[in-house]
């Protein structure tokens, strides 16, 4: 079941849903499982589209836990996470936010791109991210102790950090941290075959192209081609679209708004996918 409200998405993992595919890169599954067993919060760092969100959803399914995902942004308030009083036909009532629901139910609360949230919002996480494991609800006077199985998971992209948007050391040091990178060639090819329906030959060419584009990251691009974009490209090429048209729409244009940079990226793509 998936329910969307503003920037908050709630996803409930259960045995009836189709198992999410996730290709393990190193020992991240074991590290996550051990953190869960010891009731430790987890921080995941990594570039856009490298599989952070898919990994968390996969682990929620693997552990058979409810998953509440929140996409953080500048206007996210503590009330968006914790809850607020609303007015209904019967009068005023309290509605739990996704963080509070996860705390009550013993689920996983995943805050994606946590550094985008306001600092006064992230402070509410501190008592949950240490040995207290409590959530004060000032507006109702409750002090909730996290139910067994509750887990707090946050993520962000270190490449987008600046002086105004970084995680405070007092917050970061409350978490077990996992660093994600783009998968190795063999792993990424398997992902494209499984997720994008690519042939081994197409998967190999797309991964080689991605590596060439990622080498441009420190020069002309803010960030390299993500695995997510490669999956999009694999799906569209596999369905019959011309490879160069797909390279433009799925790789070059999403990576840059500058026409000259897009043209340069397409020159690289033509090395791997000719006009024939």
Per-residue confidence band for 19, with pLDDT thresholds at 50, 70 and 90:
confident
The partner residues of 93 in beta bridges, in order of sequence, read 86
Model confidence pLDDT, tens digit, residues 235-259? 999 999 999 999 999 999 999 999 9
Options 3.30.70.360, 2.130.10.10, 3.40.50.2000, 3.40.50.300; CATH for 2-179 is: 3.40.50.300
pLDDT of residue 58: 96
Here the contacts of 262-270 (C-beta below 8 Å, separation 24 or greater) are: 264/220, 265/213, 265/216, 268/209, 268/212, 268/213, 268/216, 269/209, 269/243, 269/244, 270/244
Range picked from 3-12, 120-129, 209-218, 236-245 for highest mean pLDDT: 236-245
Contact residues for 217 (Cβ-Cβ < 8 A; gap 6+): 223, 224
Q: What is the pTM of this model?
A: 0.86
Higher pLDDT, 57 or 219: 57
Per-residue pLDDT of 84-103, as tens digits, reads 989 988 888 889 999 999 99
CA distances from 102 to 83, 99, 136, 239 (A): 12, 5, 14, 40
Please give the helix or strand (H or E) that residue 93 lies within, else none.
strand 91-96
Q: What is each CA distance from 242 to 131, 190, 198, 218, in whole angstroms?
A: 55, 22, 14, 29
């Amino acid at each position: 079941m998936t329910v969307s409200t503003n920037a908050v998405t709630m996803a409930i993992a259960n045995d009836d849903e189709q198992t999410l595919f996730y290709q393990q890169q190193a020992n991240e599954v074991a590290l996550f499982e051990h953190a869960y067993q010891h009731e430790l919060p987890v921080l995941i760092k990594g570039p856009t589209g490298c599989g952070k969100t898919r990994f968390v959803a996969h682990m929620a399914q693997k552990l058979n836990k409810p998953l509440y995902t929140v996409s953080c942004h500048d206007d996210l308030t503590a009330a968006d996470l914790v809850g607020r009083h609303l007015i209904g036909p019967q009068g005023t009532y309290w509605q739990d936010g996704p963080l509070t629901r996860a705390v009550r139910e013993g689920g996983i609360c995943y805050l994606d791109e946590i550094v985008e949230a306001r600092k006064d919002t992230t402070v509410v996480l501190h008592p949950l991210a240490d040995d207290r494991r409590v959530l004060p609800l000032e507006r109702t006077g409750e002090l909730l102790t996290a139910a067994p199985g509750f887990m707090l998971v946050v993520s962000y992209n270190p490449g987008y950090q600046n002086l105004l948007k970084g995680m405070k050391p007092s917050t970061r040091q409350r978490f077990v941290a996992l660093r994600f990178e783009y998968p190795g060639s063999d792993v990424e090819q398997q992902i494209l075959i499984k997720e994008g329906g690519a042939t081994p030959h197409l998967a190999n060419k797309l991964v080689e192209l991605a590596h060439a584009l990622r080498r441009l990251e420190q020069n002309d691009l803010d960030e390299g081609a993500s695995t997510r974009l490669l999956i999009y490209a694999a799906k569209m090429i596999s369905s019959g679209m011309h490879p160069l048209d797909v390279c433009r729409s799925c790789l070059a244009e999403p990576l840059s708004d500058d026409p000259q940079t897009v043209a340069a990226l397409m020159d690289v793509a033509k090395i791997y996918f000719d006009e024939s």
